[in-house]
């Protein structure tokens, strides 16, 4: 038994090393995330090509451009070009000189709205800024720092930085409707755009059009996909013992239906292909062992339990085309909801519990398959799966081969 626990410990260490290696690989692969876009030169010319789509911080400091998917990379600093824009996402960055904490610097500001006052977004460290630029080119700075833990009278609570509301109310003091809106304005793209656009519509006396560049970028910076599926598990090459040393090897049912839900979390700015996956499913485990005397059955020991599975780990899905290959790996936990072994004595008809099998097992899983595009963001998929569980104390292990068919909403 000690040897088995030692092996289980080594198994978990190997799993962690595998996942660490995969995570490093994902990081290496996700160093570039090119999207179609264009660069605007200082002379006003437009260069169409592909631009690396990264975090707010990186997008504000550098533009990595190449003329084609396989072209040579060129890096532009804010002083080198007027700006750049992503075609699909709609994000637009322009070069501006700003002053933060007494230090002047030239950066790429995210251009959110063009009107009688332009609206920009910038992030430095943990502080977020929305800047308003008037017709003269002067900036009004608003900012929000992270929530702070404040303790008063032995009571601690997190306090949100709301000073930007006072700045906005003073700035728009000549427009009572806008001042009233400022009281309800959240420090988000959507809310700030709504406020500044309302000001433009109210204050603009010319035919100047208010242009919102961030219409598509109001989407979340992360993407969550939810799937539902059905399928089966094939139990093979297993060892299963009860706490009373009953060996259930080779007598368990082999095929079990399974149904579940799969949640995929991704960061499109980092990679459109890599994700972190969480999977929850239900199946069962059944088996019966008969004991005979002189050819007649004298007792039966039976297992019949619902089993839940939770899986978590990285995944990769090719992000182009109608048919998209996918692979997944990770760690998994199995939970038997009724691990008791039921014993029936045939002559007397007595039924009683006779020990139990494992209640929780841990291990790793792998899956491979394809997603088939049905609509814009909806897919059908088929996958082949492999799960391996070790239970430690009762020296049992389970190995499953399986198949899944499902739909991504």
Q: Are residues 199 and 52 in the same domain?
A: yes
Total number of domains constituting the chain = 2
Nearest alpha-carbon partner for 235 in 385, 404, 394, 11: 385
Identify the pLDDT of residue 384: 96
Residue 22: phi and psi, rounded to 5, are -65, -45
Identify the pLDDT of residue 394: 62
Identify the pLDDT of residue 8: 46
Residue 224: how many CB atoms within 10 A of its CB? Answer: 10
Question: Which residues constitute the domain of residue 336?
Answer: 2-28+220-408
Q: Are residues 15 and 108 in the same domain?
A: no
Domain ends where: 177, 212, 247?
212
Domain ends where: 212, 231, 264?
212
Tell the residue number behind the tokens 């068919």, with chain if given: 405
Q: Are residues 257 and 356 in the same domain?
A: yes
Q: Are residues 186 and 46 in the same domain?
A: yes
Q: Are residues 226 and 207 in the same domain?
A: no
Q: Are residues 162 and 208 in the same domain?
A: yes
Q: Are residues 313 and 404 in the same domain?
A: yes
Which pLDDT tens digit goes with each residue over 387-402?
Answer: 999 876 567 888 999 9
Q: Are residues 22 and 81 in the same domain?
A: no
Q: Are residues 97 and 152 in the same domain?
A: yes
Q: Which residues of the chain have pLDDT under 50?
A: 1-9, 12, 23, 26-30, 215, 217-219
Q: Are residues 176 and 235 in the same domain?
A: no
Q: Are residues 378 and 239 in the same domain?
A: yes
Identify the pLDDT of residue 31: 54
Residue 17 DSSP SS3: helix
Identify the pLDDT of residue 218: 44
For 293-332, the DSSP string reads: ETTEEEEEEEEEEEEEEEEEEEEEE--SSSEEEEEEEEEE
Identify the pLDDT of residue 1: 41
Q: Are residues 384 and 251 in the same domain?
A: yes
CA separation for the pair 90, 86 (Å, rounded): 5
CATH number at residue 376: 2.40.160.20
Which pLDDT tens digit goes with each residue over 228-276?
Answer: 999 999 998 888 888 887 888 888 889 999 999 999 998 876 777 899 9
Domain ends where: 195, 212, 229?
212
């Amino acid at each position: 038994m000690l040897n088995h626990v030692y092996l289980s410990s080594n198994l978990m260490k190997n799993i962690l090393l595998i996942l660490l290696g995969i995570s490093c690989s994902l990081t290496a692969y996700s160093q570039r995330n090119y999207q179609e876009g264009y660069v605007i030169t200082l002379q006003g010319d437009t260069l169409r090509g592909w631009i690396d789509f990264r975090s707010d911080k990186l997008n504000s400091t550098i533009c990595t451009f190449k003329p084609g998917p396989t072209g040579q990379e060129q890096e532009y600093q804010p002083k080198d070009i007027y700006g750049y824009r992503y075609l699909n996402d709609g994000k637009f960055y322009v070069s501006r000189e700003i002053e933060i904490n007494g230090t002047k610097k030239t950066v790429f500001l995210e251009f959110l709205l063009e009107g009688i006052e332009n609206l920009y977004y910038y992030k430095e460290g943990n502080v977020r800024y929305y800047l308003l630029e008037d017709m003269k080119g002067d900036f009004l700075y608003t900012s929000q720092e992270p929530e702070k833990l404040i303790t008063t009278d032995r009571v601690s609570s997190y306090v949100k930085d709301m000073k930007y509301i006072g700045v906005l109310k003073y700035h728009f003091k000549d427009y009572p409707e806008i001042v009233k809106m400022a009281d309800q304005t959240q420090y988000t793209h959507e809310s700030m755009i709504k406020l500044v656009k309302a000001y433009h519509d109210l204050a603009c006396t010319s035919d100047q059009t208010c242009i919102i560049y961030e219409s598509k970028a109001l989407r979340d910076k992360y993407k969550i996909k939810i799937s539902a599926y059905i399928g089966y598990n094939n139990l093979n090459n297993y060892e299963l013992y009860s706490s009373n040393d009953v060996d259930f090897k080779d007598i368990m049912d082999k095929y079990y239906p399974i149904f579940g839900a799969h949640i995929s979390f991704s960061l499109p700015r980092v990679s459109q292909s890599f994700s972190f996956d969480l999977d929850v499913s239900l199946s069962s485990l059944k088996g019966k062992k008969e004991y005979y005397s002189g050819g007649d059955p004298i007792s039966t020991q039976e297992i019949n339990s619902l089993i839940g599975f939770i899986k978590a780990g990285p995944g990769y899905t090719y992000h182009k085309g109608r048919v998209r290959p996918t692979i997944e790996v990770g760690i998994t936990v199995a939970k038997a909801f009724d691990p008791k072994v039921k014993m029936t004595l045939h002559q007397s008809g007595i039924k009683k519990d006779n020990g139990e099998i494992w209640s929780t097992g841990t291990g790793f899983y792998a899956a491979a398959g394809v997603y088939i595009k049905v609509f814009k963001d909806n897919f059908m998929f088929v996958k082949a799966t492999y799960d391996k569980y070790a239970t430690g104390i009762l020296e049992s292990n389970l190995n499953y081969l399986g198949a899944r068919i499902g739909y991504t909403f």
